[in-house]
Amino acid sequence: MLPLKSPPEVATELAQRVRLRRLRRGWTQTEIARRAGVNQATYVVFERYGRVSFLRLLKILDVLGLLEEVDRVGRSEDLSTMTLDDLVKPERKRGRRKLE
């Protein structure tokens, strides 16, 4: 499946959504940076270009109450490509078999 958006496009759009959340709360860039424990210049670059380290992004999302959404990423498995046999087959376990 071809991605509809590139990673830089996703990052830029995410930064804009975060900016809107910040503005709705009436926070300045300085205020959100302080609350997140991030340098203001780092936050400005994130909002403008979508570039920030992952850990800093998590801190920003945490102060906006969005960390739980990120924590759900990848938790649900796409079952649409699996067959019934795939779903019911027993899980293989590593290790030695007991000799009887």
User: What is the reported pLDDT for 84?
Assistant: 72
pLDDT band at 22 (very low <50, low <70, confident <90, very high): very high
Q: Over the stretch 31-68, which tens digit does the pLDDT of each residue have?
A: 999 999 999 999 999 999 999 999 999 999 999 999 99
pTM: 0.72
Question: What is the pLDDT confidence band of residue 99, given thresholds at 50, 70 and 90?
Answer: low
How many Cα atoms within 13 Å fall on the side-chain side of residue 17?
A: 10
Structural tokens at position 43: 């936050």
The pLDDT assigned to 72 comes to: 87
Q: Which domains does the chain have, with CATH numbers?
A: 7-70 (1.10.260.40)
